[in-house]
């Protein structure tokens, strides 16, 4: 990849949000190639472990939000034996302080990133559980349509019951009886906000405004198009 290639941000929230765009392990491999800024070919076991580490972090975030009992032992297991150090050289977008590897093959590098994300998340969670800082991680309340998705959650491996609990936080979904319908989806992106913002971006806010209007007034879009055509005459 050339120097103009997109720089991929590697922190636990950013990578969790990236995961919502992945349909298979091959998508994870493509993302990692972007992070390395060169072709990459980690083995299937490393790809699966990285995917599972992200699912583990997401599960803890979700449990924390709904005040469920936290199971932190898998994080301990995921970090068992890991050693962290500053690296002498940069590799793509990989953080300089990360889990060390036996060598720099792609599988070991991906495992290093997975362990580093677990550590970063664990440190943030630890500060929260110790009362040192709040855990101001919000989930976007944005709505969108994706007929091809075929499930309630854009985040992989999230069961319907858990996603329905999130969906019931959005007034219009409950109001329209769409709790269990994939017709309308809730944005799965996470973000840090001390201001308790509801949306991950202005684009998500705008798109949601349009969808809410359409749901509450089915002829809204037709009226909007009619007014637009009239303005052009």
In the block, residue with structure tokens 């705008």:
206
Lowest-confidence range among 65-74, 129-138, 180-189? 129-138
Mean confidence (pLDDT) of the chain: 91
CA atoms within 13 A on the CB side of 139: 24
* CB neighbourhood size of 14 (10 A): 15
Query: At 185, which helix (H) or strand (E)?
Result: strand 185-186
With cut-offs at 50, 70 and 90, classify the pLDDT of residue 34. Answer: very high
CA angle 97, 102, 104 (to 5 degrees): 70
Q: What is the pLDDT of residues 173-230, one digit of tens each?
A: 999 999 999 999 999 999 998 777 899 999 999 999 999 999 988 776 555 666 555 5
Q: What is the pLDDT of residues 48-66, one digit of tens each?
A: 999 999 999 999 999 999 9
With cut-offs at 50, 70 and 90, classify the pLDDT of residue 3. Answer: very low
What's phi and psi for 89, nearest 5 deg?
-130, 155
With cut-offs at 50, 70 and 90, classify the pLDDT of residue 1. Answer: very low
Structure tokens at 18: 């990236």
* Pairwise CA distance, residues 224 & 189, whole Å: 29
């Amino acid at each position: 990849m050339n120097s103009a290639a997109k720089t991929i941000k590697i922190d636990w929230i950013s990578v969790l949000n990236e995961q919502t765009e992945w349909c298979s392990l091959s998508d994870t491999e493509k993302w990692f190639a972007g992070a390395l800024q060169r072709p990459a070919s980690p083995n299937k076991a490393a790809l699966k472990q990285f995917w599972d580490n992200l699912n583990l972090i997401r599960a803890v975030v979700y449990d924390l939000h709904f005040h469920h009992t936290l199971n932190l032992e898998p994080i301990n297991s995921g970090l068992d034996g890991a050693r962290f150090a500053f690296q002498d050289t940069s590799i793509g977008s990989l953080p300089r302080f990360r889990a060390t590897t036996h060598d720099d093959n792609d599988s070991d590098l991906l495992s290093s990133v997975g362990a580093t994300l677990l550590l970063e998340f664990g440190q943030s969670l630890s500060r929260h559980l110790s009362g040192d800082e709040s855990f101001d991680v919000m989930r976007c309340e944005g709505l969108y349509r994706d007929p091809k998705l075929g499930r309630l959650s854009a985040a992989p491996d999230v069961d319907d019951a858990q996603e329905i609990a999130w969906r019931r936080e959005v007034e219009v979904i409950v109001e329209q009886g769409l709790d269990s319908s994939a017709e309308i989806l809730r944005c799965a992106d996470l973000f840090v906000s001390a201001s308790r913002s509801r949306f991950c971006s202005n684009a998500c806010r705008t798109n949601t405004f349009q969808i809410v209007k359409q749901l509450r007034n089915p002829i809204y879009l037709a009226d909007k198009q009619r007014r637009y055509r009239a303005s052009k005459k």
